[in-house]
Structure 1
């Protein structure tokens, strides 16, 4: 069954699995977590950020004993496997463009939201008399004010530190783009989804998934998941599919 996959999808799945095995081997067998840090993607203004992470993070997934564990990569690859036929419809070149641009769009929208959060916390700190930018540039700044004010400052600083030190990893943003592209080209196609006893039209599944991601991301629920990355990937997939759908007959 795996041999029948179109080549781009097959290679993407193989690379994800190989990277997962190698990074977990380094992490657990060799006790060398550097590979995980260097290949996952950080906030672009973080000292841990490297330009290549925007691409390599699409092949990184939660460590075996961390977060969702192996289910993270399993679920992502399972969804990609089930939508592999889209490569036959679009062609390998366009499918590859779709996948990677959706992943880049996921990183961009997620970090735009993170940037807005950092700016909000920075303004709140300024209102309390604390300049966070001087603090992170190495200037020795002491927390001042009442006990309540100092606790608030610590909280806001902690929120910023969490943003710049927590990596983004996973193929789900790119895969959301693939699913969104399919739902845009074939909006009335009915899909069978796990745990749902009846088929759902692709366009309704896309609207529900994006709407749920926006709600969860905006309200900070399920904070271990990069919901706005899903939205960013879906947005790019939708845009590309809208463009390509007009000329689908030319390369189908």
Structure 2
């Protein structure tokens, strides 16, 4: 168990913000409403007013009555767990495993799993793509990378953002946001890109985490500078490396992740689960409708 500080306030960090009492290296602008110690997104537990630290919740000063009411919850209502980065680590593991498979099996493996709308593949001697019913490509392309620099950059971004977003949302909500953001990025590619242009990579899902991170910073009234820098860096890369960066996937993932996060962290407490389910369902329906409409147009 982490040792609590002698005083309720920690020393200010490099940016003038106090550090989380459980994670000294993490600056934060949020404090426990009961003991007033500074807490980071991983440690904050939703309370009737503001947030509480895990220790105050465990000692019976939670938000309701009885064990169930006092159970630690994230800002979005998810369960607080010991390994708060588990889903992030599993996603990174899947991406790395698929990358090893690409190195072993070669371009043919990539051709069969990449995101492509509608095209004639001379190697297979047939038409391939989403418009031909190969909707599995929406998911497989999200875990597909060919170059070491590509997967290294994406996995570093996933590790950084996942460690911020997953503890704040909880495992289930984080996984739903990640996958739907990836699908949202794929849909924008399908709608706006040339049908015969293949696209791969986790960028759409990762930019969904960027959108969610921005919403969380806004919700906790913290500095938005890190998100602005990430977006500006992506815009610069798009112009520096035209044709190599899928701005459609970035934009689609960013909007999808931001919208989902808004529904998850701003849902009213008394109807939180219902509102979150409606938002997730509405985004899913919109994605499916866009896929059906584009497919009908291409065919």
Under TM normalisation by the shorter chain, which class is it? 0.5 to 0.7
Normalized against structure 2, the TM-score is what? 0.53
Deviations 1:33-92, CA, capped at 9 Å, x for gaps? 321111111015762212100000000012xxxxxx201000000011012221111011
Kindly report which structure 2 residues correspond to 1:207-218, keeping only aligned pairs within 5 A, or say none: 208=232, 212=235, 216=238
Structure 2 CA distance for partners of 1:209 and 1:108, relative to 1, 3 Å: farther
The CA distance in 1 between the partners of 2:246 and 2:91, in whole Å, is 21
Could you tell me which of 181, 193, 202 is aligned with 1:171?
202
**Structure 2 unpaired stretches of 5+:** 1-81, 121-126, 274-299
CA contact (8 A) 1:180 1:206 kept: no
Q: Is the 8 A contact 1:16 1:60 kept in 2?
A: yes
Alignment length (residue pairs): 177
CA distance in 1, matches of 2:183, 2:118: 13
Tell whether 2:176 aligns with 1:97. Answer: yes
Written as runs of structure 1 = structure 2, the 5 A alignment for 1:171-210 is 171-187=202-218, 189-190=222-223, 201-205=225-229, 208=232
Structure 1 unaligned residues grouped into runs of 5+: 28-32, 63-68, 115-162, 191-199
Relative to its length, the structure with more helix (as a share) is: 1
Distance 2:268 2:88 in 1: 20
Structure 2 partner of 1:58 = 142
* Alignment partner, residue 104 of structure 2: 25
Higher relative contact order (CA 8 A, sep 6+): 1
Pairing of 1:35-114 with structure 2 (within 5 A)? 35-44=109-118, 47-49=127-129, 50-62=134-146, 69-85=147-163, 86-114=165-193
2:247 to 224, 227, 242: 227
Q: 1:10 to 1:233 in 2, by over 3 A?
A: same
Q: 2:84 touches 2:167 (CA, 8 Å); kept in 1? A: no
Matched-pair contact (CA < 8 Å) for 1:189–1:202: no
CA RMSD of aligned residues (A): 2.8
Matched, 1:242 2:262: yes
* Residue of structure 1 in register with 2:285 after alignment: none
Superposition deviation, residue 207 in structure 1: 5.5
- 3-state SS of 2:128 partner: coil
